[in-house]
Amino acid sequence: MPGIDECLLEAMRLPGARGAALVDWTSGLALGTVGESPGGDHETTAAEAAELARLAAEHGAFAAADPGGERPPVEDLIVSNRDSYHLLRFVDTPFDSSVFLHLWLSRAEGNLALARIRLGEMAARLVLG
């Protein structure tokens, strides 16, 4: 089972991947980064992505019913702009799930459907701690 670094390097092998990070959405801190950052600064990007993730995770309009409260309420978020996609995939953990994988993907070279599937697989195998 891969750790943070292995997982992020695997994400960078996806077609069109420009950068990836594992982010704690409660604090906005990047737990690991690789590749480029949209604004040139991984920490700023992590904080901004965490704000978006927190908004989606904490508001009932976006949350699926989870009677046991054991999984993050949102599976993933996709933000698109003119030249890229940002895919935020929440990671289920045995403890309080508050992390997500952030993949920055070139729109011209990437495959959003493939990236979404692979990021889900990576998130399921990720070992934290």
pLDDT digit string, tens, across residues 59-103: 777 766 665 655 556 889 999 999 999 999 999 877 767 899 999
Residue 124, pLDDT above cutoff 60? yes
At 1, the pLDDT band (50, 70, 90 cuts) reads very low
CA distance 69 to 84: 33
* Residue 35 domain boundaries: 4-125
Task: Determine the pLDDT at residue 3.
Answer: 86
- The strand pairing partners of 24, in sequence order, are 99
> How many domains are there within the chain?
1
pLDDT at 98: 85
Q: Check if the beta carbon of residue 41 is closer than 8 Å to that of residue 21.
A: no
pLDDT attached to residue 22: 95
Q: How far apart are CA 58 and CA 63, in angstroms?
A: 8
| pTM (two decimals) | 0.89
Write out pLDDT tens, residues 35-67: 999 888 999 999 999 999 998 888 777 766 665
Distance of CA 40 to CAs 10, 18, 61, 64, Å? Answer: 21, 12, 32, 34
Cα–Cα distance for residue pair 111/40, rounded to 1 Å: 23
The predicted model gives 10-14 an average pLDDT of: 96
What backbone torsions phi and psi does residue 69 show, to the nearest 5 degrees?
65, 25
**Burial letters 63-84, b for 16+ CB under 10 A, else e:** eeeeeeeeebbbebbeeeeeeb
CATH number at residue 45: 3.30.450.30
